[in-house]
Amino acid sequence: MIPILIGVTLLTFMLFNIFGGDPAQRFAGKHATVEQVQTIRAELGLDRSLPEQYLFFVKQIATADYGRSWASKQLISTMIGDGLGATLSLTVPAFFSSIVFCIGLALFAVWGRGTILDKGTVVTCLALLSISSLVYILALQYLLAFRTGIFPISGWDPSWIGRWQYLYLPWIILFVLSLGPNILIYRTVIMDEVFQDYVRTARAKGMSEQKVFAKHVLKNAMIPIITVIVIEMPFLITGSVLIENFFGIPGLGGTLIKALNDSDFPTIKAFTVISALTYMVFNLLADVLYSVVDPRVKLG
């Protein structure tokens, strides 16, 4: 993880401080004088040598102090902390409920492989995958919020109790969006295990189909399933940009979009590094979980 993190920080620094043009000029604007640009360069520490600037950037990462946003002048760590709660409130319930439902439905589909239930599940999942996420957002927002008034169209309440009324519809949309890809992946993984020799041996010994699936098939399918889940878990932090923007949820996705629109380099750099760290941590977690579900996998 350490060499990867060094590579990520170095590449990020080069992209924004060397290849991206003069940050001081961007911050000052098109009509700034040479004196104004020089003053800003000194304020931002851009008058120092590149090695010194890189070491300062590494220090910011190590201390989780990313400085201030160029656009809002707020501390970037404060902006991230404020948006993280809203994002997790949106993504965590939808994510984990989707995992449980998709694994359960995939098991039932494999259980009845070749039947109408299995074929109907595959066709439905392919149909769900064929529709753009934007269509789901607009259609469900129109039907369940605008037409029927079951849910608020958009809005946000920062209080812990008040926010939930604005999250029910986004939860439903995230849940529906996950069904197509996840069920197909889990079904394929579980189906591969069904035809293994150890399953035929268990059946030959008289073990019931329920025990075969519960004790053998699902357990051995957990490594690829864990891989898929862990790959998706950084999404819990980065959030859903489209849904946050359509429903007015002040999460990390909206913060990142605003930073991109404002060319807010310090905020974008912070998000880049945090995303890389998140993916590395969750991949490490996957390696640990492999050893938990499969005794054949040893750490070290």
Tell me: do 266 and 189 sit in the same domain: yes
Residues 45 and 130 in one domain: no
Q: What is the mean pLDDT of the chain?
A: 85
- According to the model, what pLDDT value does residue 297 have? 67
What's the number of domains the chain is made of? 2
DSSP-H helix ranges across 161-264: 168-194, 197-204, 209-211, 218-232, 235-238, 241-246, 252-261
Mean pLDDT over 193-204 rounds to: 84
pLDDT beyond 80 at 126: yes
Interatomic CA distance for residues 179 and 172, integer angstroms: 11
Same domain assignment for residues 105 and 225: yes
Average pLDDT score over residue span 25-50: 78
- Pair 119, 166 in one domain: yes
Q: Are residues 122 and 212 in the same domain?
A: yes
Q: Check if the beta carbon of residue 80 is closer than 8 Å to that of residue 86.
A: no
Domain assignment of residue 300, yes or no: no
First to last CA, the chain: 14
The CATH number assigned to the domain holding 126 equals: 1.10.3720.10
52 with 107, same domain: the answer is no
Within a domain: residue 68?
no
Same domain, 103 and 214: yes
Residue 139: per-residue pLDDT:
93
Residue 132 lies in a domain: yes
pLDDT band at 221 (very low <50, low <70, confident <90, very high): confident
> Do 41 and 179 reside in the same domain of the chain?
no
Rounded CA separation 216/193 (Å): 9
Q: Which residue has the tokens 């889940």?
A: 229
80-89 residue pLDDT tens: 888 888 999 9
Which of 20, 37, 63 delimits the end of a domain?
A: 63
Say yes or no: 7 and 125 in one domain.
Answer: no
**Same domain as 239, residue 173:** yes
Q: For 279-295, what is each residue's pLDDT tens digit?
A: 888 888 888 877 777 66
Asked if residue 70 belongs to a domain, the reply is no
Is residue 271 in some structural domain? yes
What burial class does residue 125 get, using C-beta atoms within 10 Å of its C-beta: 0-12 exposed, 13-18 middle, 19+ buried? buried
Residue 82 lies in a domain: yes
Final residue of a structural domain among 35, 63, 91 = 63
pTM over 0.85: no
User: Are 47 and 104 members of one domain?
Assistant: no
Domain that holds residue 46: 2-63
Write down the pLDDT at residue 168. 94
Based on the fold, state whether residues 170 and 195 are members of the same structural domain: yes
Domain membership flag for residue 212: yes
In a domain, residue 299? The reply is no
